[in-house]
Chain A
C-alpha cells in the first residue's frame, strides 16, 4: 500500500521568511496530492492540491510542486505570517477507490 513520508516534523520560521515542507510517496499509481492545514483544536482543511498531470500550482502565497519521477511533492509558503502557524499534512491518493494516505504532519511555527 501507499506510504507517505513527510519532513520536517517541526519547522520554525521568522515572519516574512519562506517555509518548505517535503513529502515522498511510494505508490506510483497515486495521482492526487492534497495539502491540509490543521490549526490547534480545529479540523484539517484543504489549502491546495495538485494532480499528477501538473508539475506546479500556486495560490497566492502557497505553491505546491510535484516530481512524479522522483515521487516527491513539496509545499512552499512565502512571506509567512503568524496565522500560518499550524500543523500541515501532505497526502497521496490513487483515484477511484484508493484511500487518502497522510504524512505524519509538520508543525509550523511562525515567530513575529
Chain B
C-alpha cells in the first residue's frame, strides 16, 4: 500500500493553462505539505495543512491554491501556468505534536510547462 500517493506523476501542458495535482495519505497523519523541487534540486515548502487548516503559506503566487477536503487529502490547483512553474511537486505528510515524526513524501508530480 502506498503511504502518500499523488496524481498525476507527469503533467505536460501549455503556458496559461490551469492544472491540478491530487494527493492522498493513508498513514493517519494530521499534517500535509506541498514542496516544490526545481532543477537545482532545492526542496522549497509551499503550503502546510493541519487537520484541514492552513498553517504554513510561504511566499507563493496566488495562482497556486491548495485545498484540503479532509485531513487525508491535499490538492494543489495552479492557474495560468508559467514556464517557471516547471518543477517536481512533492506532497508529504507527518504527524506533528510533542514528538514530531518522519516526513513521508509522495513519488512526486513532474510538471512541464511549454
| A9-27 contacts to B (CB < 8 Å) | none
Q: Is B100 touching A44 in the complex (CB atoms < 8 A)? A: no
Contact of A93 among B41, B44, B98, B100 (CB under 8 A): B100
**CB neighbors of A among B38-87 (8 A):** 40-45, 48, 50, 55-56
Q: Are B56 and A99 in contact (CB under 8 A)?
A: yes
Report how far A99 CA is from B96 CA in the complex, Å.
10
Chain B interface mostly helix, strand, loop or mixed?
loop
10 tightest CB-CB pairs across the interface, nearest first?
A43-B105, A102-B43, A105-B41, A46-B102, A95-B100, A32-B100, A99-B56, A44-B105, A43-B107, A99-B45
Q: Beyond the given A95-B99, A96-B98, A104-B41, please list 11 additional residue pairs across the A-B interface where CB-CB is below 8 A.
A: A34-B103, A43-B106, A44-B105, A93-B100, A97-B50, A97-B55, A97-B56, A99-B45, A100-B33, A102-B42, A102-B43
Q: Can you list 25 residue pairs at the A/B interface with Cβ under 8 Å?
A: A32-B100, A34-B103, A36-B103, A38-B41, A42-B107, A43-B90, A43-B106, A44-B43, A45-B105, A46-B102, A46-B103, A87-B41, A89-B43, A93-B100, A95-B96, A95-B97, A95-B99, A95-B100, A96-B96, A97-B55, A100-B94, A104-B40, A104-B41, A105-B41, A107-B41
